[in-house]
Amino acid sequence: MGSEPVFRVVTPGPLAMLQDAGRFGVRHLGITQGGAADLHAWAWANWLLGNAWGAATVEVTFGGLVLEAVRGASVALTGADLGVTLDDVAVTPWQTLRLEPGQRLAFGSPRSGLRAYLAVAGGFCAENVLGSLSAVGRERLGGHDGEGGALAVGDVVHGMPEDDLAVDHAVRKVPESERLDYSELPELDMIPGAQIAHFTGRSIFDVFNKVWEVDNRSDRMGIRLNGPLIRGAVNNMISEGLALGAVQVPPDGHPIVLLNDRQTIGGYPRLGTVTPLACSRLAQCKPGTRVRFRPKSLEKAHRQYAEFLRFFRGG
């Protein structure tokens, strides 16, 4: 099945790029996972259009993106409220909408949350690089250009021809219970483990009882948090593989929650692992946002994530 142009980039904004479910089975090569930073919002965007799990969307960080429709397209918007307008008329996120050729979809600045997701019926199309379309700029992999690039002025984003799809033009909306309020203080589930026994009792108490603040030195690699200094008996160790959500503590005592574009191995001790859905919530936090951690058992975390995947993937 071929592809055809869907959007032309009028204004790129600070960071907009193609992201799908991620790149797996390649970390032994030193290649990171990538994929949608907010898996929750990404999954609902594709669900609205009946897209298969893994379909690529445009992840829009901080807004500023302006797209012009090259052809008619059924799209869905989820995630952060970035003040989106269609031909200068406000658009409500967490639902589908129809664009006609020449119409302009514009993302403003963050009102609530940080990352919005734009899906198109059938998913966006690009070169599959090592099993994924996800853009990782550091490794120059994936994305609309095959080299991990963010969208730039004049770029054209492709999708499947609508004639090849059974497109339902009716408006669909995400259930109210799943439209997260990004202005609320996030409670982030963490599975204690790894080297947590090496940290002082006071530090472990502070992790789960103090409020933390997102540092401005945060990106798709990881979220640095400011708060009480975390101290332990070990500052460095032999490097180990790093999972999504691993909470590393470098010698300066400020924990870092590792996200999708993280390095594949690391030698700092870890407090544990933030669950995938908690990572999604954290990915919506702007610098200065306050967050809290709460402990969660591996069994409960696994059950929650399995239910999430069954809903969107089936089986």
Residues 13-67 pLDDT 10s: 999 999 999 999 999 999 999 999 999 999 999 999 999 999 999 999 999 999 9
For residue 234, what pLDDT is reported?
85
Q: Which residue has the tokens 């059974």?
A: 166
- 84 burial (CB, 10 Å; 0-12 / 13-18 / 19+) is buried
Residues 256-289 pLDDT 10s: 999 999 999 999 999 999 999 999 999 999 999 9
Instruction: Enter the DSSP assignment of 284.
Output: T
At 185, is the pLDDT very low, low, confident or very high (cuts 50, 70, 90)? Answer: very high
Give pTM, 2 decimals.
0.96
pLDDT at 167 over 90: no
Residues 291-311 pLDDT 10s: 999 999 999 999 999 999 999
Give the percent of the chain with pLDDT over 90: 93
For residue 237, what pLDDT is reported?
86
Please, are residues 190 and 55 in contact by the beta-carbon 8 Å criterion?
Answer: no
Q: Indicate the SS3 state at residue 39.
A: helix
For residue 212, what pLDDT is reported?
98
pLDDT at 1 over 70: no
For residue 314, what pLDDT is reported?
79
pLDDT, mean of residues 198-211 = 96
CATH 2.40.100.10 fits 187-313, yes or no: yes
Q: Which of 284, 216, 282 is nearest to 254 (CA)?
A: 216
User: Rounded to 5 degrees, what are φ and ψ at 298?
Assistant: -60, -40
Please, are residues 51 and 159 in contact by the beta-carbon 8 Å criterion?
Answer: no
Residues 83-139 pLDDT 10s: 999 999 999 999 999 999 999 999 999 999 999 999 999 999 999 999 999 999 999
Sketch the domain layout of the chain as residue ranges. Answer: 4-178, 187-313
Q: For residues 280 and 41, what is the distance between their CA atoms, to the nearest angstrom? A: 8
Q: Strands 187-192, 290-295: parallel, antiparallel or unpaired by DSSP?
A: parallel
Please, are residues 234 and 200 in contact by the beta-carbon 8 Å criterion?
Answer: no
Q: For residues 143 and 136, what is the distance between their CA atoms, to the nearest angstrom? A: 7
Give the percent of the chain with pLDDT over 70: 99
